[in-house]
Amino acid sequence: MKESFYASACIDGLQGGAVYLTDDGFYFRSQKATIADEYRNLKIPYENIKAVSSGKRALFTPTTIIETNSGKTYRFLIFGREKFIDDISKKLTRAENTI
């Protein structure tokens, strides 16, 4: 099952796109020509996600922070952040239970 959320990556300002939670991982997709290639079709398998947390950016913008096992940190502005964090937490728990 795929769940989707409107989102922006917080890199050099806000770069619009969408976040998808599928059975195998977290995806961020953006069609913006100016976004870094790393973010255009970003996929992070659940087993590579170390932590998901809430944060704040400049102007008190509520963000979601995803930290990977390799130490890379991604920051997003996700509309419906509380539901997103709840949904991804459930998927991370399922992924941990299958390892």
The CATH number of whichever domain residue 56 belongs to comes to 2.30.29.30
| pLDDT above 70 (res 31) | yes
Q: What distance in Å separates the CA atoms of residue 22 and residue 19, rounded to the nearest whole number?
A: 10
Which residue range forms the structural domain that includes residue 29? 3-97
Q: How many domains does the chain have?
A: 1
pLDDT band at 99 (very low <50, low <70, confident <90, very high): low
Contact 75, 10 (CB under 8 A): yes
Between 98 and 78, the higher pLDDT residue: 78
Q: What distance in Å separates the CA atoms of residue 89 and residue 14, rounded to the nearest whole number?
A: 24
| pLDDT above 90 (res 55) | no
Q: Residues 54-83: what's their mean pLDDT?
A: 89
| pLDDT above 70 (res 18) | yes
Q: What would the two tokens of residue 97 be?
A: 């239970």
